[in-house]
Amino acid sequence: MDMKHYKKPILEAIDPEFGSSIKIHDYKEADNEFAPTWHFHPEIEIVFVNGGSGKRHIGNHLSYYSDGDLVFIGSNVPHYGFTNRLTQNKSEVVIHIKPDFLGEEFITLPEMQDIRSLMERGKQGIVFHEPIKANLGQEIEALLDMNPFERMIGLLAILEQMAQTDGYTLLQTGQVVLETKAEDNQRLDLIFNWVKQEFRRSIPLSEVADMVAMSDPAFSRYFKKKTGKTFTQFVNEHRLVHACKLLSEEQISITEVCYDSGFNNFSHFNKQFKQYTGKSPSAYRKGIRRLIE
């Protein structure tokens, strides 16, 4: 598949709102132009998805969320957006702040230690669980109607609660932080977008290596260095996240889920799924149904 079919990776330029050091946007519909694009920016990003279900792809992490999401993404951590027209969420509030938005001296004060630690953890990507997700989601949405001073105070309160809670999971096993090296970003963008389209079939390593003009061993080393995972692990994660989505949203058999997700062996699918989620496919589906009920 030719590179020309994909957009180049984007360093998203973010301008704060007039009279504010914070940019906050409420996406009522799937109108976030960066959502389908592998992109990054120096600004820290906080995203609250109100309801709905979809995928989160942050750095080398790929997973599926249901009943909304609350994530914290550190500076220069590459990611895709979280919603589209199929997500069926009510809204998506996205906040962007510079790492030093409080000023270099203010952020070093002893009282800011917890928030500094939060920002450091954010380089791995953070997802927050209930009840903190619902509670902070309401506070994040309330920021939309505040004046700049009230918004600053409200955001600090939100950051402090994020820093204090233990109801979270770090998404990346390590840190994947991009700099503005166009060649690497373009390769990763090509590979990630291509896998998103082709994961349902068998993908020989030689095929993707040839696509980015590398030998098989060179590509294997390159991909592991950039993502912390082998290419096979990465493809299987796409398949497993797709399986989670099908189990949650479609009334089809688990066997159909297996083959529609790109696995050609049912026992292998069951084993991989349990390793990835901690549950069998049937137990995962039952858990989702209980959550909805």
Q: Once rounded to an integer, what is the mean pLDDT over residues 255-278?
A: 91
pLDDT category of residue 86 using cuts at 50, 70 and 90: confident
In this prediction, residue 99 carries a pLDDT of 84
Residues 116 and 254 in one domain: no
In the three-class reduction of DSSP (H, G, I as helix; E, B as strand; rest coil), residue 35 is classed as: coil
Residues 157 and 17 in one domain: yes
In this prediction, residue 4 carries a pLDDT of 37
Range of the domain at 98: 12-170
Q: Once rounded to an integer, what is the mean pLDDT over residues 75-95?
A: 87
Residues 29 and 146 in one domain: yes
Q: Once rounded to an integer, what is the mean pLDDT over residues 225-245?
A: 86
What CATH number has the domain bearing residue 68? 2.60.120.10
In this prediction, residue 80 carries a pLDDT of 86
Quote the number of domains for the chain. 2
Closest by Cα among 52, 73, 68, 86 to 129? 68
In this prediction, residue 215 carries a pLDDT of 94
Residues 230 and 113 in one domain: no
In this prediction, residue 218 carries a pLDDT of 94
Q: 86: how many CB neighbours lie within 10 A of its CB?
A: 12
Residues 39 and 134 in one domain: yes
The residues near 63 (Cβ < 8 Å, ≥ 6 apart) are 55, 56, 127, 171, 241, 244
Q: Taking the model in full, what pTM does it have?
A: 0.67
Q: How far apart are CA 225 and CA 109, in angstroms?
A: 36
Asked whether the beta carbons of 54 and 82 are under 8 A apart, the reply is: yes
Residues 69 and 214 in one domain: no
Residues 163 and 213 in one domain: no
Reply yes or no on whether the pLDDT at 120 is more than 60. Answer: yes
Residues 163 and 242 in one domain: no
pLDDT category of residue 142 using cuts at 50, 70 and 90: very high
Rama region for 202: left / alpha / beta (φ>0; ψ in -120 to 50; rest): beta
Alpha-helix residue ranges (DSSP H) falling in the chain: 113-121, 132-142, 148-164, 182-198, 205-211, 216-227, 231-249, 254-260, 266-277, 281-292
Q: Once rounded to an integer, what is the mean pLDDT over residues 50-65?
A: 87
Residue in this structure with the two tokens 């991989």, named with its chain if needed: 272
Calculated CA dihedral for residues 144, 149, 152, 156, nearest 10 degrees: -120
Report the DSSP beta bridge partners of residue 92. 27, 49
Q: Once rounded to an integer, what is the mean pLDDT over residues 197-218?
A: 91
103 part of a folded domain: yes
